[in-house]
Every structure is written in structure tokens, then in C-alpha cells.
Amino acid sequence: MKKINLAVVGATGMVGRTFLKILEERQLPIENFYVMASSRSAGKTISFNGKDYVVEELTENSFDKPIDIALFSAGGSTSEKFAPIAAAHGCIVIDNSSQWRMDPEVPLVVPEVNPEDLSWHKNIIANPNCSTIQAMVPLKPLDEKYKIKRVVYSTYQAVSGAGLAGWADLENGLKGEEPKKFPHAIANNCLPHIDVFLENGYTKEEMKMIDETKKILHDDNMRVTATTVRVPVFNSHSESINLEFEKPFELDELIETLKNAPGIVLLNDSANNEYPLAASVTGRDEVFIGRVRRDESVDNGINLWVVADNIRKGAATNAVQIAEEIIKKMNA
Ligand code: A2P
């Protein structure tokens, strides 16, 4: 197998550090490895696969050297400026920010769901929003079988999704300190406010879930709504997902469909208090599903409880899985 040159941009951040961990765990075939961040971190060392690497400041010249794949998680404005520079140098960017996700020239990919979209990239591939990724894994097999008409998302999102600063707000807030990242205290609170508010009254996070769902499932007519809430949980996002289908279904068969779909672990034994929990899925790469039950208020509806590690499957693992698919194509 051909070894690749790989860069991690934003290597000192919450997702960036997890990129390194997952690249080590999954043993990607790496020849030359580069870690990049802002000038604030330049010169620090980061250990990877038993070796120390010096953090480079990301500049317009960072991609002058041959780099096959760059995993970006350094915020939207960094991606806006530097992803096109990397792409123009022949480097394939897998970008975790929201900057390129809705660009019609950029595929938005969850490898278990729409790997076919990797075929048309122009050197930038977008990693979906964390809350969208974990929802797509169950929605895809159900949409294929029963055709989804309408989706109602309600999320319970961990502070790690807001990076190191979000994590610090909960940690310090529990000691009585004022928040620095969030607009209100997150300790002992729930904030129905993730990302900025838009003119239609939704938050940007909610619109990301709505728009990204339609793009990934290739269905502009799907009706989707969302309420996204930040909760005082350090890691792993939980979601209540209500689905209405065009076709009728047998509940047993639907549960079997979820059980057999890639990337899913079913924890669906409510009688024995078994359902997915944020605290127990942290550190895992799968999407966990429970509380599967018929929505008795409509003809063909169900409710699901869907939990995943937002930093792993919701960000770093998904991006590394995309990199693995690209490497497979390079070796084909
Ligand atoms: P740095 O640590 O040097 O600020 P998080 O979202 O967890 O806070 O992580 C953000 C990541 O993005 C960090 O690695 C941060 O680097 C990096 N980053 C932020 N701004 C820039 C920039 N202008 N150029 C390169 N990396 C950046």
C-alpha cells in the first residue's frame, strides 16, 4: 500500500487532538506527518506514533511541500482561506468546519451513508456537522426501506462540541465561575442556542442539520425541522429523532433493519433500563440507538434515541474514515 503524506490543521484543538489519536488507533499508512495550528502554538511539540512533531504555523506556504491529505479542524475562516490553497496544490482537504458543506462543488460525506459522493470531489470534501453525522447513520437505511417524509430533531449536545473553550465553561461553571464561551451559564442549565441566530428564528446549528440532511440523503423535498440544545454534559451528543415515513412498517422489521445497518449498535431493551447514554458511549466510534417505538400520533411514524461521541464519530472518526476511503481509491 502506498504511504501518504498527511497534515492535521488545528492539531492542538479538541477535534485535532482526537484526529491524532484515531490516526494512531487505525494505523493509517503515513510517510510524512505534519501538525499545523496558529502562531500561538507554533514550536510546541506533539507526540504521534511514539515520535515528537513540532507544530508549524499554518501559512500560505504550508502546502508548498507535497501533502496528499490534510484534515482541517481550525474553524470556518481558517478553512475558507487555506483549504483552497491546499486544494490548488493537489492536496485533498477533509474539512470539519461548516465553511464548505453546502457548496454544490463539495461533497458532504458520511462513509457508511453516501460514499458514492466521494467520486466527484475537487480536492475539498466536507465532514458534516456532528449532530448531522450521528443522525444520518440510522436515517439512511430507514429512508431506503420506508422513504422518510418528515424528520423532527431535538438535540441534547455536549460542551465538547464548542471546543476547548466550551469544555472549560462547564468545568469552571461547576465551580461557580462566569461563562466565557457561552452566552449564559451552562452548568445546571440547558441553552436552546447553538451557533448564531438567523433571520428565520432558527439557529445556524439547526439549519445545518436541516440542510445537511437533505444534501446527504439526496432529497430536497424531505421535510426537516430541528431544535438544538446545549446541555451540561462534557462529551457525546444525544438526539431525539421523530420520523414519519411514506410506507407502513412492522416495528420488528424496522428494528432488524437498524441492527443490520453499518455503524450502528442497538441498545434497545427499555424493560431492563437499557438505552444509550452519553456517559457510556464516549470513546466509541459507533452510533448507539435505543427507545425505538412507534409514534402513535401519526400513521407511519417512529421515535428514536440516538447517541454518539461527537468528537469521534461526529468529527474526527468520520473524517479519518473519509481519509481511509480516499487512500483505498489511491491504491485501487
Ligand atoms: P491554536 O491552538 O494555535 O489556537 P478548538 O476548537 O478545540 O479550540 O481548536 C481550534 C484549533 O484551530 C486549534 O488547534 C487552533 O490552534 C486552531 N486555529 C485557530 N485559529 C487558527 C488559525 N488562524 N490558523 C491555524 N490554526 C488555527
CATH for 263: 3.30.360.10
At 43, give phi and psi (nearest 5°). Answer: 95, -20
Active site residue 130: yes
Do 100 and 136 lie in one domain? The reply is: no
> What is the residue with the minimal CA distance to atom 21 of ligand 1?
38
State in Å: Cα 220 to ligand 1 middle: 34
Do 46 and 151 lie in one domain? The reply is: no
Do 250 and 272 lie in one domain? The reply is: yes
Do 123 and 153 lie in one domain? The reply is: no
Do 199 and 283 lie in one domain? The reply is: yes
pLDDT tens digits, 190-222: 999 999 999 999 999 999 999 999 999 999 999
Provide DSSP, 232-284. Answer: S-SS-EEEEEEEEESS---HHHHHHHHHHSTTEEE--BGGGTB---HHHHTT-
Q: Which atom of ligand 1 is nearest to the CA of 14?
A: 7
Please say whether the beta carbons of 222 and 148 come within 8 A.
yes
Beta strands in the chain (DSSP E): 4-9, 30-37, 45-48, 51-54, 56-57, 69-72, 92-95, 124-126, 148-157, 223-230, 237-245, 264-266, 287-294, 301-308
Q: How many domains does the chain have?
A: 2
| pLDDT score for 105 | 98
Q: Which residues line ligand 1 (CB under 6 A)?
A: 10-14, 16, 37-38, 40-41, 58, 74-75, 78, 163-165
Residue count (the chain): 332
> What is the residue with the minimal CA distance to atom 3 of ligand 1?
38
The catalytic position among 89, 91, 193, 237 is 237
State in Å: Cα 232 to ligand 1 middle: 24
State in Å: Cα 68 to ligand 1 middle: 21
| pLDDT score for 1 | 78
Please say whether the beta carbons of 218 and 147 come within 8 A.
no
Do 145 and 206 lie in one domain? The reply is: yes
What's the whole-model pTM score? 0.97
State in Å: Cα 12 to ligand 1 middle: 7
User: Average model confidence (pLDDT) for the chain?
Assistant: 98
Would you place residue 332 in the very low, low, confident or very high pLDDT band (cuts 50, 70, 90)? Answer: confident
Do 274 and 146 lie in one domain? The reply is: yes
Domain enclosing residue 34, as ranges: 4-127+315-330
Mapping DSSP to helix (H, G, I), strand (E, B) and coil, where does residue 315 land? helix
Strand 124-126 to strand 69-72: parallel, antiparallel, or no bridges (unpaired)? Answer: unpaired
Q: Which three cell numbers stand for residue 198?
A: 438567523
Do 189 and 202 lie in one domain? The reply is: yes
Do 175 and 303 lie in one domain? The reply is: yes
Please say whether the beta carbons of 180 and 162 come within 8 A.
no
Active site residue 190: no
Q: Which atom of ligand 1 is nearest to the CA of 16?
A: 14
The catalytic position among 89, 91, 121, 130 is 130
State in Å: Cα 295 to ligand 1 middle: 43
How many C-beta atoms surround the C-beta of residue 94 within 10 A? 25
Q: Which of 38, 63, 130 to mutate to test the pocket of ligand 1 (most atoms within 8 A of CB)?
A: 38
Do 269 and 255 lie in one domain? The reply is: yes
Do 289 and 146 lie in one domain? The reply is: yes
Q: Which three cell numbers stand for residue 331?
A: 491504491
pLDDT tens digits, 60-69: 999 999 999 9
Do 202 and 69 lie in one domain? The reply is: no
Q: Which atom of ligand 1 is nearest to the CA of 37?
A: 26
| pLDDT score for 2 | 85
CATH for 113: 3.40.50.720
Q: What does the pLDDT average to over 76-95?
A: 98
